[in-house]
Amino acid sequence: MSSSVSSPPAKDTATMSSATPQQDYGWDSSLPTNSVEYCLSAIKRVLAEHGCQSVLDVGCGNGAMSGRLNALGFNITAIEPDQQGFEIAKNNHPDVDFHHLGVYDDTPQLGTYDAIVSSEVIEHLYDPAALLRLASRHLNKSGILVLTCPYYGYTKNLLLSLTNRWDDHHQPSRVGGHIKLWSHETMRAFLLSEGFDALKLSGAGRFWPFWASMLVVARKRPEMSR
């Protein structure tokens, strides 16, 4: 990942930093979110295709995705900085190794993994490169990074404009809302700038060009893995 960045201010998204005063993202249920339902099948398919066994789930929220992946036979470690989300996850999925950590924290207690999964997290991050720095530290030499985040592309953006849904879509007054909007082009460029190659950029939920989420599979460039 890239050069060091100072810690984000207190108004940064709660799910992403246990080092800032604002930590309450609002987790109050162990039920899976809608995104878990439509992202899980895509993520498990990628993990199986790449022969992954050990997986670090970054920003696991209430642990619903971690629990599902663990039940499918993957060896899951998961981190979540929000205290309430962490407690819900730990209490409802005792077979998963949860840690109360976020992407801005030092993480020497974590090992290395075949895959790092981060589902619907990067769009919340004040400093998204922090997620890739963490991945660079904790991926095996041939490991993969699997991300999902809300998908934006020309046709979908045009539809949102024509139907006057941008204001509702952005939810600017929401604490912990979406502050980064990613397209395939901006994601590919971002990955390259942080030493990762995009192996796959596709989508999940609904159908192209109206995918609900982007699916990203990436790997550290060889010079970054040494």
Where along the chain do its domains lie?
14-224
Determine the pLDDT at residue 17. 38
Determine the pLDDT at residue 177. 80
Determine the pLDDT at residue 225. 55
Determine the pLDDT at residue 23. 52
Determine the pLDDT at residue 197. 98
Single-letter residue type at 96: V
Determine the pLDDT at residue 109. 95
Question: What top-level class would CATH report for the domain 14-224?
Answer: alpha beta
Rg of the chain over all Cα atoms, to the nearest angstrom: 16
The two counts, helices (H) then strands (E), for the chain are: 7, 7
Determine the pLDDT at residue 74. 98
Mean pLDDT, contiguous 10-residue spans, the chain (226 residues): 35 38 71 93 97 98 97 98 96 97 96 98 94 98 97 92 86 79 96 98 94 97 69
Classify residue 189 by its DSSP letter: H
Single-letter residue type at 35: S
Hey, what are 89's tokens? Answer: 């996850």
Determine the pLDDT at residue 47. 98
Determine the pLDDT at residue 167. 83
Determine the pLDDT at residue 21. 37
